[in-house]
Amino acid sequence: MADRRGFIRAGGLFATGFAVAGVAAEPVLASTSDPVLPLLGWHAALANRHYEPAVVAVIGSSSSEGVGSSRYGRGYVPMLAGNLCARFPVAGAAGGDVYTAAWGRPSGLWPVVLSGGVTTSTTGWGLKSAGLKAAGQTVTYPFTGTSVRVWHTVFPGGGAFTVTIDGATVATVGTHGPATDRDATWISPRLEPGHHTIVVTCVTPDVYVHGFAVLHGDENRGIHVYNGGHGGLTSGDFAGSAAGWAPRLRTIRPHLVILQLGVNDWRTRVPAATIGRNLKTIIATVRAYTDTSPSFVVYGSPRVSAGRSVQDFAEVSRAWQDVAADDDGGPGGSSAVAYFDLAARQPAPSADNSLGLYCEDLVHMTDRGAAFTADALASFLAP
């Protein structure tokens, strides 16, 4: 495979495949077989959105989770979902940010309410679930849509729960079984369009609820975005805990996977080379658990507040770019990994935050910063 790393590092090529001013076209063609191929799988799925869902999965840390936003739904992931649905509409299929985990940060703004039980970081999409340990403990989620799905885990000898929608019990689900199933799903009947409330109540322990997937006329089409952001986690957390999150890929079946990981690693002194290896492990894991041949985007952050890091941030940026350049899992052995360079679109908050894109901690994005990032990503992902 041709080595694309030197040219990508030099900033001579955007992931869309266009050479920047002053760079001759011939070296571009010589350095990579086809620079537009990384997102081809996603673009093909997007073109087919009228007939089947075009699915985006996000694996990330606090910025993906939405930490820093003034209210739930203003992080860059739900804003990106709204942008994509507005730019690529499907009549009668609202689409958007489909999945909400059973818990998240900041807890006071999270729309899911736990009554009893414990939060866990060992299983579920985004490594999040709520463990209901005693009868009567509940998970409650108000939503707007036409159907809802409860994602949960089946453990050997596990418990059972009831599902109540708008005050009426619609199902009793037994989660006990002979083997572990980390991507079990309960699917509601079709609901009238509008506002609803679902309550999962533990009947017998243990019940592990990952979260809720809500559809709104887009059960079988449109654009679906599944947010797996988890504040504080590193690339190593996801690479080393695949058994907890990867089985859910069989449900999600993504056509695009956004990897927003590496900043927490850098801030806690993880070497750039290790970050790159972890991201490659995550990409290989995704491919092992899905048959959709997804495209990938490695999210390149600008330099934020350094925390305890003593490592040059440029080394992390190079590692992100190398993950994209080294991949050969795309069409014809080309790369299926694109590099999204947010740092090329805004100043580093650690140097200049005069536009107010980042919070006072100079790490997390404000509402404005999240919307800015979502706009930039939507343009980057468009065919």
> Does 190 share its domain with 242?
no
| In-domain check, residue 226 | yes
* CB-count exposure of residue 59 (10 Å: 0-12, 13-18, 19+): buried
| In-domain check, residue 10 | no
Rounded to 5 degrees, what angle do the CA atoms 260, 315, 317 make? 35
Please count the residues of the chain: 383
The pLDDT of 47-61, averaged and rounded, is 98
Longest distance between any two alpha carbons in the chain, whole Å: 68
Q: Residue holding tokens 């418990």?
A: 159
pTM: 0.91
Residue 26: pLDDT above 60? no
Closest CA to 40 of 287, 347, 329, 252: 329
Give the chain's mean pLDDT: 90
Total number of domains constituting the chain: 2
pLDDT of 28 reads 30
> Does 298 share its domain with 154?
no
> Does 285 share its domain with 334?
yes
pLDDT of 15 reads 37
Give the distance from CA 45 to its chain's centroid: 17
Determine the residue type at 315.
Answer: E
Instruction: Note down the domain range covering 204.
Output: 110-216
Residue 131 pairs in a beta bridge with: 118, 208
Order the strands of the 168-174 sheet from edge to edge: 113-115, 138-145, 194-204, 160-165, 168-174
| CATH number of the domain where residue 121 is located | 2.60.120.260
| CATH number of the domain where residue 64 is located | 3.40.50.1110
